[in-house]
Amino acid sequence: MSRAALLVLADGRFPAGGHAHSGGAEAAVKAGRITGAASLEDFCRGRLHTTGAVSAALAAAAALGVAPGALDEAADARTPSAALRVAARRLGRQLLRAARVAWPSPGLDALAREFPKGAHQPVVLGAAARAAGLGGEDAAYCSAYESVSGPATAVVRLLSLDPFDATAVLARLAPDLDDVAREAAKSALRAVDEGVDALPAASAPLLEVGAEGHAGWAVRLFAS
Amino acid sequence: MDCGPGDEGDGSSPVTTPTRTSSTPGRPSPPAEPSTAGRSSAAGRPFIAGQSSTAGRPFTEGQSSTAGRPSAPARLLASPAGVHAHARIAARADPHGRTVLPVLDGEGPLALRRTRATGPAAHVTLVGAMSGPLGGDSLAIDADVGAGARLSVGSAAATIALPGQDGAAARYDVRLTVADGAELRWLPEQLISVRGSALRVTTRADVAEGGRLVLREEQVLGRTGEEPGLLHSRLTVRYAGRTLLDQELTCGPGAPAGWDGPAVLAGHRAVGQLVVVRPEFAYESPESAVLGESAALTPLAGPAALITALAPDALRLRHILDDALSRLM
């Protein structure tokens, strides 16, 4: 196993299409709830501890080898917004395409066969981490970081926020990222024994409501 | 429909017993309405409290079907740290297609009354016979709706989570099962999380293939102008063995950071979910819809839809959910 594989997988330039999604930040900017670095930080912290924690746990469980079918169903149940389920599967399909080239493996081939229309992105992320020889906590870190780096990058474009300030937000979130990744890895271990009901299901009501509205916009910068 | 064969809960005189007279000083009691005698009147709030002393938390044991169970006072006293109560409802279709209630067992603060119904469904009202839950309490309700039966459950007043004496959290577990061809409408009043309280609520609905469910949950964070307590809720809905919805929300002091930020609640003090499960949705799924500024309807990954709504207060939240429900039904 190579720890450096984690850097490849977590790199924002990994060609998996994530840059086209704002993680709900575009809707929050439009609603006037994100106006600068401070409210971006609040937004990211809330997202990290809710849907970010759930994604991290799903990714960690997939990296530990929990059946992708059960995890994908668990992801559906934890993603009530139909618009967000569509976005998560689209992202999963794009990530799988890149990951199969980067880390060819029978596991990723089987995942592509089982989900021709795409599995939820965190499930694919965990399977890719597994194929790259990474562990559950690695996958959790990668997923948790994505849950905040996506909105931070998007807000730089949406509000012309100073990229230095956006990066400082991410740096301040580092202790929270550690906590979330550690907890996600623990719950993934429980899921290995007890099944997917052991995974967290924390939700962010405004992200769900905002996503349904955002999907109906005629003109938008980001896909979700 | 008011006095069918399953109406053990109706008409009998409530036995009112004060409890925990020394351990819960200052515990608020529901207003006394001695005239209600176990039946909800059209206009009044059917609190059964009545003639109790001023110090304790009165509770009411109104059912005649509780014979053979340990009496509630004994159970309460056996658990000095908090009240443990478990209420049960079973609804069954009789040979004439009416719904009877072979089990209608309230306990402690969870008193149950069969109330007047306008349609073919049996109607049960959960009556707040004590205030609470308080920290340390552990409450549970099971409702089981058998094949072909139709049950509607409401409550007489909001549930108010109050602080206990030692800072312990309270639990409130609701378990609902709905059989093929059965229908459950579970429409309780709001849950209000009061400053200093800590409550963990779980609601789990298991709907068999061919069953129907309407389920509403509303959380209100603090009374008017008040900081909320710590509230953790988890709502799980399964249909035909598959989990369609699994959702947790934690808010209030001690919740993970960001709970009141722009991704989660953003200062809204009332949040609600309305879940509708209908077999017909497998063929014709409701379309996503935006319902004003902070509410949306979305189809779930199965024959069900969810409305999520946020509002500044309980009243406006209810308006949004009522409008959304009429749109779906």
Closest-CA distance of chain B to residue A19, Å: 19
Residue A5 maps to a domain: no
pLDDT of residue B28: 44
Cα-based distances in Å from B265 to A93, A152, A205, B204, B296: 31, 19, 7, 23, 14
Q: What is the pLDDT of residues A87-140, one digit of tens each?
A: 999 999 999 999 999 999 999 999 999 999 999 999 999 999 999 999 999 999
> Chain B: residue nearest A210 by CA?
B294
pLDDT of residue A87: 96
Closest-CA distance of chain B to residue A27, Å: 10
Asked if pLDDT for residue B113 goes beyond 50, the answer is: yes
Q: Are A73 and B241 in contact (CB under 8 A)?
A: no
Of A197, A201, A209, the CB nearest to B295: A209
Q: What is the pLDDT of residues B160-195, one digit of tens each?
A: 999 988 888 999 999 999 999 999 999 999 999 999
Asked if pLDDT for residue A207 goes beyond 70, the answer is: yes
Average pLDDT over residues B115-124: 86
Average pLDDT over residues A193-202: 97
Which positions in chain B touch A74 (Cβ < 8 Å)?
243, 246
pLDDT of residue B149: 97
- Whether the upstream peptide bond of residue B133 has omega within 30° of 0, thus cis, is yes
Asked if pLDDT for residue B56 goes beyond 80, the answer is: no
pLDDT of residue B329: 79
Which residue reads 């908090």 in tokens? B82
pLDDT of residue B80: 53
Which positions in chain A touch B242 (Cβ < 8 Å)?
73
Q: Is B215 touching A (CB cutoff 8 A)? A: no
Residue A14 maps to a domain: no
Asked if pLDDT for residue B129 goes beyond 70, the answer is: no
With CB atoms and an 8 Å threshold, state whether A201 touches B246: yes
With CB atoms and an 8 Å threshold, state whether B294 touches A200: no
Number of domains in chain A: 1
Of A46, A78, A81, the CB nearest to B263: A46
Cα-based distances in Å from B16 to A147, B31, B37, B46, B130: 54, 14, 11, 14, 11
Distance of CA B20 to the CA centre of its chain: 24
Which CATH number characterizes residue A46's domain?
Answer: 1.10.4190
Could you list the residue range(s) of the whole structural domain that residue A108 is in? Answer: 28-212
Closest-CA distance of chain A to residue B267, Å: 11
With CB atoms and an 8 Å threshold, state whether A49 touches B234: no
Reading the block at residue B136, the tokens are: 């340390």
With CB atoms and an 8 Å threshold, state whether A42 touches B265: no
Integer Cα distance of A95 and A91 in angstroms: 6
Residue A193 maps to a domain: yes
Residues 17-76, chain A: which have Cβ within 8 Å of B?
Answer: 24, 28, 31, 33-34, 39, 42-50, 53, 73-74, 76
Cα-based distances in Å from B139 to B43, B77, B108, B130, B136: 28, 15, 9, 12, 10
Of A49, A80, A202, the CB nearest to B306: A80
Residue A151 maps to a domain: yes
Pairing of strands B270-277, B212-221: antiparallel
Which positions in chain A touch B234 (Cβ < 8 Å)?
201
Q: What is the pLDDT of residues B42-52, one digit of tens each?
A: 333 333 333 33
DSSP state, B107? B
How many CA atoms lie less than 13 Å away from A37 in the CB half-sphere? 13
Phi, psi at B250, each rounded to 5° = -125, 125
Asked if pLDDT for residue B60 goes beyond 80, the answer is: no
Contacts of B107 (CB under 8 A, 6+ apart): B61, B66, B69, B72, B75, B85, B86, B87
Asked if pLDDT for residue B118 goes beyond 60, the answer is: yes
Of B263, B298, B310, the CB nearest to A82: B298
With CB atoms and an 8 Å threshold, state whether A80 touches B289: no
Asked if pLDDT for residue B67 goes beyond 70, the answer is: no
pLDDT of residue B77: 37
Integer Cα distance of B148 and B135 in angstroms: 38
With CB atoms and an 8 Å threshold, state whether B261 touches A39: yes
Reading the block at residue A12, the tokens are: 């924002």
Q: Are B244 and B291 in contact (CB under 8 A)?
A: no
Average pLDDT over residues B103-110: 93
Residue A220 maps to a domain: no
Dihedral (C-alpha) B93, B99, B103, B108: value to the nearest 10 degrees? 150
Q: Where are the alpha helices (DSSP H) in A103-204?
A: 106-114, 121-131, 136-159, 163-172, 174-194
Quote the ipTM score: 0.96
Q: Is A197 touching B (CB cutoff 8 A)? A: yes
Of A33, A45, A215, the CB nearest to B266: A33
A201 exposure class (CB count in 10 Å sphere: 0-12, 13-18, 19+): buried
Cα-based distances in Å from B93 to A17, A221, B51, B207: 54, 55, 37, 17
Average pLDDT over residues B216-226: 94
Reading the block at residue B7, the tokens are: 């109406």
Best of B239, B247, B273, B275 to disrupt the A interface (most A CBs within 10 Å) is: B247
Q: Are A63 and B229 in contact (CB under 8 A)?
A: no
The 10 Å CB-count burial string (b at 16+, else e) for B155-188 is: bbbebbbbbbeeebbbbbbbbbbbbebbbbbbbb
Best of A33, A35, A45, A177 to disrupt the B interface (most B CBs within 10 Å) is: A45
The 10 Å CB-count burial string (b at 16+, else e) for A112-148 is: beebeebbbbbbbbbbbbbbbebbbbbbbbbbbbbbb
Residue A22 maps to a domain: no
Distance of CA B255 to the CA centre of its chain: 23
The mean predicted confidence, pLDDT, of chain A is 96
DSSP code per residue over B109-152: TEEEEEE--SSSSEEEEEEE-S--PBTT-EEEEEEEE-TT-EEE
Residue A183 maps to a domain: yes
Closest-CA distance of chain A to residue B179, Å: 21
Best of A212, A214, A217 to disrupt the B interface (most B CBs within 10 Å) is: A212
pLDDT of residue B164: 87
Q: What is the pLDDT of residues A135-192, one digit of tens each?
A: 999 999 999 999 999 999 999 999 999 999 999 999 999 999 999 999 999 999 999 9
H/E element holding B186?
strand B183-187
Integer Cα distance of A206 and A186 in angstroms: 27
Residue A221 maps to a domain: no
Q: What residues pair up with B170 in beta bridges, in sequence order?
A: B199
Least Cα distance to B59 among B41, B42, B72, B69 occurs for B72
A/B interface, count of CB pairs below 8 Å: 128
pLDDT of residue A81: 97
